[in-house]
Structure formats: structure tokens, C-alpha cells
Structure 1
Amino acid sequence: MHKLTILLAGLLLALTACGGSETRDKPVQKFDQALHDELIAMFERDQLDRLGGKPSNESDQDRTDRLEEIIDEHGWPTIALVGKDGEDAAWTIAQHSDLDKPFQAKALKLLRKAVADKQASPGNLAYLEDRVAVGSGKPQLYGTQMGCGPDGPEPATPIKDEDGVEERRKKAGLEPLADYVTEMTAVCAEDEAS
């Protein structure tokens, strides 16, 4: 009986140790201030380049290459790792990585997982899903990729299952498509005036 108790205690101890395998498979990420700050600085340079500020010596491809190095080392820069604004910055850089479609597809895959783990923005995922689809000439799901046509905003590629677009947008935390089109109408009018 004594040997059986020792055997059961040993088995229980082994099972308890194995029970934590989920946490060993998913290491807890600690906030990385330096990485956060680097991503925010990259984002700021990206925006300056786009909004006509003083251009940096860094190209979209340079930022893409650096984000790929970060992803190779850390995985997708999650909210736990770099904060909400750091995750948004990483997404912006991936969104503007149009010249490196394989990287964009890789980023999309990792972003999907991060959203499933509640460690990234579903809205960011919706935009990147559409960006990758449009870049491949495929229909988009959320209608986020619009251009300015002669009659105002128009989808860069058709919207797949237009009847379901509002529900998809709502699940992603995006505004209704009509509101987005109204915003884009103002953008297109501004572009036309300048």
C-alpha cells in the first residue's frame, strides 16, 4: 500500500508538471519598451513620408525589412509585447509593405493568430486582409481599400458577398460601409481640390 501511495504521488506530481504545458507552449510576453519605442518611431517616419513632412532616408522596404526581423525574433508584435499603439504601428508598416507580397502574407497569417488570441486589433486584421486580397487582384471582404474615381470613392476590387459586408465590418469593429464611403468622399474631394 505504501509503494502504491508513493507511485500515485509521483504520478500526480508528473501530471501537475505536464498540466502547465499550455503556458510553456505560449510563453507570456512581457512588455518591451525598447521595441515599442522603435515601432512608434518607425510609424512616425512612415507617416511623415506619406503626409509630406520631411522625408526620412528610410524607405517602405527598409521598414518592411526591419519589421520582418522583429517578427522573426518575436512573432507578431502583440498588445502584451508592445502595447496597443505599438501593435497598431506594426500593422501600419505591414499595411504599407505592398512591394513585398510574401512578407505581407506572412504578416497577415501572424496577425490572424494574434487577433484570435485577443492580442491584436480585429480592425487592423480587416484592413490587412483586404490589402492582401486587393494586391492579389482578389475581391475584398470588408471594403476597406478604396480609391478615388471620377465619381468619388470606389472599391479597389469588388467586395465579396456584399450582403454580408456590414456584419463582417461590425465584427471587426469597423464603422458601417456607408459612413466609410462618406469619409472617403471628403478625402477624394480634398484630393481633387489640391
Structure 2
Amino acid sequence: MKTNLQILFIAILLAACTEKNTLTQSTQIPFNQDLADDLARMAEIDQIAAGPVPNDRYQHLTQEEWKVFEDSVFATHAKALEKIFKQHGFPGYDLVGKKGSMNFWLMAQHADHNPKFQNRVLRKMKVEVDRGNADPSYYAMLVDRVNLNTGKQQIYGTQVTYRANICQAYPKPLANPETVNERRKSVGLEPIEKYLNEMTEMHFMINKDFFSQKGITEPTLHEVRE
């Protein structure tokens, strides 16, 4: 049979647990559907601007006019992202869902004119990655982007350019290429050879007419080591 002292101790313990649970619930970040929707709308326009050629809606634009449109979209979105970032930091899954978080990251990637902002995003994104609240592979891509934009070598080999004479993707300046696949694996990225081949094939399909005129009928792929 419990003594009055035991009953009092149990009551105090239960009260403490209840208070702790209430505090935890009150500090949880509520999902922000309006913000997720805003990011989705912005990302849709971002992807149009990031396309290799004007889509049907913008085909009347010259290349110069298209470049102006592209720069305007990226600059406008960067300002909007800075406001969001100032209020929320990097938006993780808990705030805007996986899609919303990806959309913010995607547009931050295109803020190349403002590497200082990209670097601030990177630091906050790392916090969310460590919490399991953001995608580590997207973080790796932004690391590479920021490094190249600030005169450093990339770490994960996600940023590529192309050998036009053979249609083959290869990494932009990369630190310690002999161990890149270890680093890629640590953030959930596939081996770099597979990645480069995917980028090569995509580049070939987008520019098939160009390569056909040069007598190139198929892309040149990298050897994939198992």
C-alpha cells in the first residue's frame, strides 16, 4: 500500500512530465501551407527560367531578351528567399514539407549573383540536415555551388560542364577526385561515374540536333566501376 509520501512523489513526477510534454508541443514548428504554396509557385517560374531554351510561352523572345527574363526571375526570387530566410532560416520538412524544402533549396542554387546569401543558407541548411529535417544530397549540391562561386574546388562533383567534341559530362574543378565517391556515398549520392553518364545522356538528348550536325550520333559515357 502506497504511503502519502509516495503518492505525493508520484503526483509531482506526473506533473513534471506533463509540463515537459506541453513545452515540447508548444515549441514544435507548425506546418506553413501558405509558405509551401508560395515556394511551389516561385519554383515553377524558376524552372522555366532555368531551362536551356525558351519554352512555348516565351519563344517570341530573342536570346538577349530571354537572358534578361532569366536574370530578372532569379534576382526577384533571391530577394523573396532572403525575406523567408530572415524569418524562418532554412525551411525544413517540418515547416514546408519535403517538396517545399526542395523548392527553397532549388531557388537558392540559382542565386549565384549573391554567394554570401548562398553561404548563409548553407550554414542553416546544415543544421536542418543534422536534425534529419533537410536532404543531405541537396546540401552537398549547394556546397559545391557555393565553393565554385567563391573560387574554391567542389567537394562532391555535382557541378559539371561538357566536352562538346564528344558529348561527355565531366566535373568542374574537384578536390581529391580519387575519394569523391566516398564523400558522395556519405550524403546519399550515387557514384560519380553514373551521375556523369546521366548528365551526359540528358545533355545529348537536349542538344541532339546540334550533335547530329557535328556527326556525333551517341554520347561518350564514362566507365562505371562496380
Count the aligned residue pairs.
Answer: 188
In the alignment, what sits opposite 1:161? 176
Q: Does the Cα contact within 8 Å between 1:133 and 1:139 map onto a contact in 2?
A: yes
Answer with 1 or 2: which has the greater Rg: 2
| C-alpha deviation, 1:150, in angstroms | 3.7
2:170 partner SS: strand
| C-alpha deviation, 1:94, in angstroms | 0.6
Distance verdict in 2 for CA 1:173–1:15, change over 3 Å: same
Deviations 1:141-162 (A, max 9, x none): 110000113452222212x222
Consecutive aligned runs of 4 or more in structure 1 exceeding 4 Å deviation:
11-20, 55-58
Q: Does the Cα contact within 8 Å between 1:45 and 1:56 map onto a contact in 2?
A: no
1:59 partner SS: helix
Deviations 1:70-114 (A, max 9, x none): 011111111111011100000001100100111000011111111
| C-alpha deviation, 1:16, in angstroms | 6.6
CA RMSD of aligned residues (A): 3.0
Task: Please give the alpha-carbon distance, in whole angstroms, between the structure 2 residues aligned to 1:138 and 1:57.
Answer: 24
Q: Structure 2 length as normaliser, TM-score?
A: 0.71
In the alignment, what sits opposite 2:202? 187
Q: Does the Cα contact within 8 Å between 1:137 and 1:157 map onto a contact in 2?
A: no
Task: Please give the alpha-carbon distance, in whole angstroms, between the structure 2 residues aligned to 1:155 and 1:47.
Answer: 22
In the alignment, what sits opposite 1:102? 116
Identity %: 33
In the alignment, what sits opposite 1:34? 34
Unaligned runs of 5+ in 2: 1-8, 59-68, 212-226
Task: Please give the alpha-carbon distance, in whole angstroms, between the structure 1 residues aligned to 2:24 and 2:164.
Answer: 54
In the alignment, what sits opposite 1:50? 50
Residue range with higher mean Cα deviation, 160-169 or 77-86? 160-169
Unaligned runs of 5+ in 1: 1-7
In the alignment, what sits opposite 1:5? none
Give the letter for the 1:181 counterpart: L
2:27 partner SS: coil
Task: Please give the alpha-carbon distance, in whole angstroms, between the structure 2 residues aligned to 1:13 and 1:82.
Answer: 34
